[in-house]
Chains A and B, each alone.
Chain A
Amino acid sequence: MNKAWFPFLLLVVLSSCYFPPYEEDLSLAVPATRKMEETAFIGPLPIDPWEFEDWDIVFYPSKDALRIRTNDFVRGFMVATNDPLVRVLFVDHDGNDYRVENWNWAEYSVENFDDKDFVFRATTIIDSDDAAIDEQLGIMVFNNQTEPPFREYIIVNQYLTRTFIPMDGVDLLIGASFFHDYMDAVRLHTLRIDSGGTYFEREYSVDPGGLNPAPVPLPAALRSGSLPGLPKDINNCFYYRLPDPPSPTNRAYLSVYDRVRREYRNFSWDNSHELQVLAEMDRRIDLVLSNGWLFSREENKGYIYNGEGELINSFVMGGLDLVFEILNLDGTYRVVFTIPIWAPVRVDKNYWEDRLFFLVYWIPTEQLADL
């Protein structure tokens, strides 16, 4: 009788190298994604898991592909970060399968991943005047550890050709953001504050016009003046400017971590130059939406605030990333989410290997209140 235990125990030992069928990032995202429209299922991508499995990966889909949807596939850029490196890879489709050039990436060293700092922001750019360039990614990099702090705007195309464009100006650029407008392509807004406390906002067109992109700095600030009450000695912050349209008063937002108070402080102003403190909001602003709502990401959850900093809704995001908001062809603004998932794929009869997948979802901006 006791011999019956032997095969059982052998079986138990064989099965003991065990993980449950559960992917937390995906499971936590599902309740929210069930209220969204799935626009693309990308993968499997033949990326070496040993090279990237522990990296933070965000997929930035092509805006044209999302909007026009002439194909069943969606191309885009994969941005992987692992302190202190940022790598950009291009995810393409050859008509049959998704592919990515495994060892071909554009790499940058940021050297500062203090999560309280504003470090970099990326977005896909709508189009190019060069017929050979289909897809482009714009990256704003803030390196806050060098002296003086270094700011750079980089454009990467689908061939991973890079163009570095130093931001001009004497005073330190402390904030920058992309604004997505279908008609005007993507615009880059920047914020500087001089030693006297005077601020300057500028706007650049980031439609580069080919392989030799040249952001078009406006000779004069869009808006400048003084903002009494703004914390002094800010050298980096989240900054977002909502132009007209959709904001008739060109409202701007600033979010900065106060290391004395150990909390985020949020401000806004418009053409009236009156600084408004968003006192009820103690989370960092991560994105300003076209309707004036503010999005903040903290751990597993996303938070939606109105323009006055009052909480409207919160929802569990898991591994979802809110990558950008775009104006769809039907005239509605939509928020685009992506999620990266590593999952096993059978590559041989008895051999499985991890492969990378991206799921892409979008939802009308107004419906964020119902998530």
Chain B
Amino acid sequence: MRPCRFVVMSFLLLFPFALGFAQKSIDIEEIRRLVLYFEIGAGSEFTTQQQSLLYESLLSNLSNASEKVALLESRDERVPLDDQEKTSAAENIGADSWLHLVVSGNFESIGIQARCLDLLNGIIAFELDLEKEIIRGTRELGLLMWREVEDAVGDYFDRALNMENRIGDLTFQALPGTRIQGIGRGRLKTTEQGIATAQVALPSTIPFRATKPGYFPVEGQVYVDQTEKVISLEQELAARIALNVYLHNMSYPGFDLMYFFIPDTLFGRVGFLTYLVGFVLDDGDEESGSVFTGHTLNNFSLSLGFFFSDPDRPFRPYFALGAAWRLVTANGYWGLEPVAPFAAQPVLGWEYARSQKIKIFAEYAPYFYWVPERYLFDLSLPPDRDLAFLFIPRRDDLVDWAWVWEILVFNVGVRIRL
């Protein structure tokens, strides 16, 4: 294994950790921000100049539709395909509503389809389907062409801002300390009495996610159309104990018992890895004609770690830090292995599953051996290998001792919540 290959692999290994825990928030502001998606319909017979006239006259009319809405132009010439894309694009430029307007036909007979969505209230503000004829040329574009659209925008956003008067209280009943995401900019947190209340615009559909360390998150959405609404959340306690069964470097069996101080989040781990029996996938034992191998060595380990993400996520990265003691169980001697008696061991891993009960996991768990006499460790290196051990310090003329980083250590196995 070349070091550069390892670096690339490590990057790929770490890549999933960069995947985020994005929270979408919707802002409430004094003046609404409406983004315009303008589209020429398929089969239309407008010249480029006519398209420009249509767009600019539309902008001019909508800019005066209401003092309570600011019109934004989409930065992308391509109109997002569906409502979800349109909403995401609108949020990206800070808009809280969008208007998708499609014109079709030709300059004498124009079809107009308009659809406006209010992101704050989660409702469709209006939809229009119009047929227009232009008799008096471009003058009519400025005066009559967009009147219905302009009126619809003005009517709705004058009223929409007035919705401040139509605000209701949404109350969550949950375990104390539960955080609720999805309502406004910040996060709600339940009090010691297990209550959290937020004001929401009426009517609206509110998606939410309630989390509390040690409990499975509760996700859902609630439609609020009354001035008071109470939602009671049932939160399920996550697992306290888990058992790991794994293969160390695809060769030797290992077992861990995990105890979660905070269920399914913060854990302590006791592990036992044995080299007494294992199998190798290459020709290491070809002289014996068997893929099985064995060494009178075992690792006993203790570690403390935590998961980066919530228990309900299918993909959960975690980190642990601990130590391992090497135990010899040879005939005539049971005790600490004297050449490298113990090692520090960071663990970077992730687990994946659709079910909460049984998950598969993979982890990078290198050993940093403490070696009081480095030349003895040199003599203990496995024979006939392209080795992946790094001595720290590198030079053996400085000190007798060393920390030795065994670089390629991977565990793959199954984690069972008990």
A residues contacting B by CB (< 8 A) are 1, 4-5, 7-24, 26-28, 30-31, 34, 41, 49, 53-54, 299-301, 316, 318, 341-344, 350-354, 357
Contacts and interface: CB of A to CB of B under 8 A. Distances in A.
A18 B333 contact: no
Contacts of B287: 54
A16 B377 contact: no
Given A299-B332, A342-B383, A15 B340 contact: no
B197 interface: no
Interface of B: 1, 6, 8-9, 12-13, 15-16, 19, 248-252, 275, 280-282, 284, 287, 293, 295-297, 315, 326, 328, 330-333, 337-340, 352, 362, 369, 375-389, 404, 406, 408-410, 412
Contacts of A353: 384
A316 B296 CA distance: 14
Given A19-B295, A31-B338, A49 B330 contact: no
Contacts of B280: 16-19
A352 B378 contact: no
A9 B337 CA distance: 31
A10 B9 CA distance: 9
Tell me whether chain A's interface is mostly helix, strand or loop, or mixed.
Answer: mixed
Contact of B376 (A13, A26, A49): A26
B381 A343 contact: yes
A346 to B, nearest CB: 9
A26 B379 contact: yes
Contact of A4 (B16, B377, B386): B16
Contacts of A31: 333, 338
Contacts of B378: 343
Given A21-B381, A26-B379, A300 B9 contact: no
Given A5-B362, A7-B9, A30-B338, A12 B384 contact: no
Contacts of B249: 12, 15-16, 18
Contacts of A53: 383
A20 B297 contact: yes
Given A8-B12, A8-B13, A300-B333, A19 B284 contact: yes
B295 A20 contact: yes
Residue with the highest number of chain B CB atoms closer than 10 Å, among A13, A21, A41: A21
B53 to A, nearest CB: 48
A365 B385 CA distance: 40
Contacts of B406: 21
A9 B247 CA distance: 12
15 contacts: A4-B16, A5-B352, A8-B12, A8-B13, A15-B408, A15-B409, A16-B249, A18-B249, A18-B280, A20-B382, A22-B326, A22-B382, A24-B297, A31-B333, A53-B383
A27 B330 CA distance: 10
A337 to B, nearest CB: 15
Q: Which of A8, A16, A19, A354 has the most CB of B within 10 A?
A: A19
Nearest to B295: A22
Nearest to B339: A27
Contacts of B296: 24
A11 B376 CA distance: 29
Contacts of B332: 28, 299-301, 316
Contacts of B377: 21
Given A5-B362, A11-B13, A352-B385, A24 B330 contact: yes
Contact of B362 (A1, A8, A41): A8
| Closest 6 pairs (CB-CB, A-B) | A16-B250, A17-B282, A19-B382, A300-B332, A7-B12, A18-B249
Contacts of A10: 9
A357 B379 contact: yes
A299 B331 contact: yes
Contacts of B412: 9, 12
Given A22-B297, A24-B296, A343-B383, A12 B376 contact: no
Contacts of A18: 248-252, 280, 382, 408
Contacts of A344: 381-385, 387
